[in-house]
A and B are shown apart, each in its own frame.
Chain A
Amino acid sequence: MMLRIRLTQQEADPIGGIAAAPIVPIGSALAVAASIGLTFVHRSEVSSTLAALLGILLVAAAGVVASVSALPSRAPFTAERLWLVVSVAVGAAITEYVSTLGADRPLVGDYGPLVIGILILAVAPFCTWMSLLTAGMLAAAVLAILAVGAAGGRLSGDSLVALVALDTLPVLALSAAAAGYSYAIVGETLAWQREANSAALARDAEMRAGIARSVQQSRVSVLGREVLPFLAGIMTADRITVADADRARELAEALRRALKEGIESTWLDDLAGSIAGVRGVAVRVDDPGGAARDLRADQRSTLTALVSWLSTSGRSSAITASFRARDHEGVVTVSATPAQQAPVRRDLERFVVVARSVGMRADTSVSRDNVLVEFRYDLE
């Protein structure tokens, strides 16, 4: 429950956050269109054209702030950005109120509540449900004051309640929708993660057995296939020949080497081996200190996803992953030589976003003959 309050969809489901990014400019465009349309509808009430224009400009500004803030390259969308968007939009609502000062008919043509509501709804994938709800309520409070101000002394106390309720309806309804969406999608994601994690734990024993079997079949491998029959042969033989003794020496050497390599290598070397074996893309791992071992599980997944993605569909012909430490920072550089379907920066962006969501800072650079992704993470 606490996690639900703290998390946004973008944090819980980074890819969902990327997929949702285009809704922000769409919502912003709708908001601008609404402000222009409604200003036109109540043009007869406009007393200050300048204020009316400024209002529309402020709506556009709020939309631009929201759209830029939600760009995957600027993830994560912080709470301050929500406040900035809502503040500018509320500014637009106030300006619009000023533009019709004195001539305004209540509830007709005021685009403030609608525009603020649409913008809050558009950024729902990037904010916690609590912040969305709070933003909606605070905006509604400002709008209520404006509505009372616009009504002036013309209304009695009772109809004032109705007026305020109806005036703030769009912003309240839309921010309720935004908060509801954020609450539900984060809940869905967390529930899936809990379920997947416990299933993974339950499956672990099974997977271990399967892996133990396949290890027996595979890599105890090339070596076991040589050593065991050799020993079996010696066991049943009469004599040891000179060739046997030589062979034993070779095998002993190979065995020592294999153990040393096994101790020095990490999961990333295994990934490289499996990619090279299955997809024929050479993956070089430059990790003398075994830093890949220190990555957290979710950081490993991110790196695995990136390397796997780069190695498929003819995107790269060779990949290198190198680790180095800089001050208190670990740096993983994944560099790929582009093949016929060279990756473009936009494709890499989602890995950058995912990396950010698992506590790694990331940069990409794409040129004609090199694709570079750099992840930096704190060393403990």
Chain B
Amino acid sequence: MNLGLPEHLARESMSRALAYAGQCAALVCLAIGMIVAGDAALAAGDAALPGASRDDLAALVLLGVQAILLLLLARHTTVTLTVVYLLAGAAVVFGVTILAMTPDNGVDSTNTTVIALPQLALVLAGGAGTGSLIALAWVVLAYGLAEAAAFLGAAVGGGTWVPNAATAAAFGLLVVVRVFDGVSRRADTRRETGLHRASQQTRELALRHDYELRATARLHDTALSHLVAIAAAGSGPIDERLRSGIRQDLGLIVGRDWAIDHGDTSADHDVRGAPGSSAPARRSPSVQATRTVLPEAIDAAHNAGLAVRLTGDARVLASLGPSRAAALDSAVAQCLVNVARHAGVHEAEVAIGPGHGDVTVVVIDSGLGFDLDAVPDDRIGLRTSIRARIEQEGGTVRIWSSPGVGTTVVLTVPEGGA
């Protein structure tokens, strides 16, 4: 539900409504003019005054033509039609003035209601375009034409030209209305009140609230049982059923490209990159594979003094083409450099897992973390460089981070590639 008119439409709508109002009044003027002329023609006919009757009929026709043009203008308000209407209307004023000036009518000056009728219809009709200034320009032009036509008519018909009081009053009224419209809109009450914006915002708030609630409920439903199970289990080895339950549910929440199949490997492996650290106690083929596939990342971690805990099945990295593998390697390296620089911790975890046609690498640290919405500029660049690399390979990057909790970066690229 929307209330009222929005800021951007108010001007046009008001302009059109005012123009329509003027056209209605103009039509009434012409209709009354036609009634008067028709009535006079009938009266002259009854009184057997063929000359007068012909004059009145001529006035009736002239006003009729103006009325038809006015209806046309009201339907299609274009500049051309406005100009045509103004010129034709001025001609009608001229004609009606000459007809009114014939001696039988007893009209000696142009300040008379009969001449005012086509003049009023001319001034009130308005014109194409929106806005108070354009409307005022048309009104001034129409008024000028109306009085000029009456002046010419008086000169030709042998009467005196006096500005028509009714036409001047209508002109004044129109100027007041248009100036008021222009000035009142300048006060900008609409924008200030922001009703339209508020209505959009309210709709969005309600939707968002609904979604947040649903998302919270979903997180609650999927994660709570695991958290309770972990809390209840206390310290000790992890139950495999719990592990696979978590894996399944995390997949449901964040999509299959996140933290997939970590648990497939029977054991976790340490790759100590930090200087002075002891050599890993056990080595599996997957770790050796990693050493050959993520060399840049491991080197970077080593150089930065970061211990990397590697988990998952590193063999899946072999399914990547060399340049894609290199891109992923660089991105992971960049993530680890970030951890070393900003997280304030000396170790990070890198988990590798296959998906359905994807390879996912998760870089987790439990360091300082940061507010994603308030990332400092220098880190935007790094994030972009990670993102750019991965997205170029048709992959995606997701980041979770929270101050004091740590950061999780999930890099996913499709298998294969150059």
Contact = CB atoms under 8 A, between A and B. Distances in A.
A236 B262 contact: yes
Contacts of A308: 194, 197-198, 201
A207 B204 contact: yes
A297 B1 contact: yes
Given A22-B184, A233-B364, A239-B235, A184 B194 contact: no
Given A173-B120, A192-B9, A232-B250, A255 B227 contact: yes
Given A114-B169, A305-B195, A256 B220 contact: yes
A224 B219 contact: yes
Contacts of B243: 234-235
Interface in B39-63: 39-40, 42-43, 46
A240 B238 contact: yes
Interface string B229-256: 0111111111000110011011001100
Task: Tell me whether chain A's interface is mostly helix, strand or loop, or mixed.
Answer: helix
B351 A236 contact: yes
B402 interface: yes
Given A193-B2, A308-B201, A162 B402 contact: no
Contacts of B408: 225, 228-229, 232
Interface stretch (B207-215, B280-288, B326-334): B207-215
A16 B253 CA distance: 48
B3 A298 contact: yes
- Sort chain B's interface into a size bin: 35 or more
Nearest to B223: A227
A357 interface: yes
A90 interface: no
B247 A181 contact: no
Contacts of B6: 192, 196
Contact of A231 (B23, B189, B223, B362): B223
A170 to B, nearest CB: 8
A16 B201 contact: no
A291 B103 CA distance: 80
A173 B253 CA distance: 69
Do most interface residues of chain B lie in helix, strand or loop, or is the interface mixed? helix
Interface stretch (B14-22, B85-93, B339-347, B380-388): B14-22
B217 A259 contact: yes
Nearest to B243: A235
Interface residues of A, number: 112
Contact of B113 (A124, A159, A169, A236): A169
Contacts of B13: 185, 188-189, 192
Contacts of B1: 193, 197, 296-298, 301
B212 A169 contact: no
Interface stretch (A74-82, A241-249, A371-379): A241-249
Given A114-B169, A252-B224, A305-B195, A216 B29 contact: no
Given A259-B217, A301-B195, A350 B173 contact: no
A240 B211 CA distance: 33
Contacts of A244: 230, 235
A300 B202 contact: yes
A176 B70 CA distance: 15
A142 B30 CA distance: 22
Interface in A326-379: 350-351, 354, 357-358
A172 B28 contact: yes
A3 interface: no
A211 interface: yes
A73 interface: no
Contacts of B199: 297-298, 301, 304-305
A350 B193 CA distance: 8
A216 B400 CA distance: 10
Interface stretch (A7-15, A56-64, A145-153, A317-325): A7-15
A255 B220 contact: yes
B2 A270 contact: no
A324 to B, nearest CB: 21
A169 B243 CA distance: 89
A159 B173 CA distance: 29
A239 B216 CA distance: 28
A84 interface: no
B332 to A, nearest CB: 16
A251 B227 contact: yes
A182 B59 CA distance: 32
Contacts of A274: 205
A267 interface: yes
A39 to B, nearest CB: 15
B238 A176 contact: no
B351 A30 contact: no
Contact of B187 (A19, A161, A232): A19
Given A183-B20, A354-B195, A234 B230 contact: yes
Nearest to A118: B173
B362 to A, nearest CB: 7
B193 A238 contact: no
B290 interface: no
Nearest to A156: B43
Contacts of A172: 28, 32
Contacts of A350: 189, 193
Interface string B370-414: 001000000000000000000000000000111001101000000
Contacts of B14: 16, 185
B128 interface: no
B25 A229 contact: no
A304 B201 contact: yes
A233 B235 CA distance: 15
Given A158-B46, A169-B28, A297-B1, A262 B17 contact: no
Interface in A1-52: 12-16, 18-20, 22-23, 26, 30, 34
B311 interface: yes
A225 B400 contact: yes
Contacts of A156: 43
A265 interface: yes
Contact of A220 (B180, B192, B212, B259): B212
Interface of A: 12-16, 18-20, 22-23, 26, 30, 34, 107, 114, 118, 121, 124, 156, 158-159, 161-162, 165-166, 169-170, 172-174, 176-181, 183-185, 188-189, 192-193, 196-197, 200, 204, 207-208, 211-212, 214-217, 219-229, 231-242, 244-246, 248-249, 251-252, 255-256, 258-259, 262-263, 265-267, 270-271, 274, 296-298, 300-302, 304-305, 308-309, 350-351, 354, 357-358
Closest 7 CB pairs of A and B: A180-B24, A305-B198, A181-B21, A248-B230, A177-B25, A13-B4, A185-B17
16 contacts: A19-B190, A188-B9, A212-B211, A219-B215, A227-B219, A234-B238, A235-B243, A235-B263, A236-B312, A240-B230, A245-B230, A245-B233, A249-B227, A251-B223, A265-B209, A301-B199
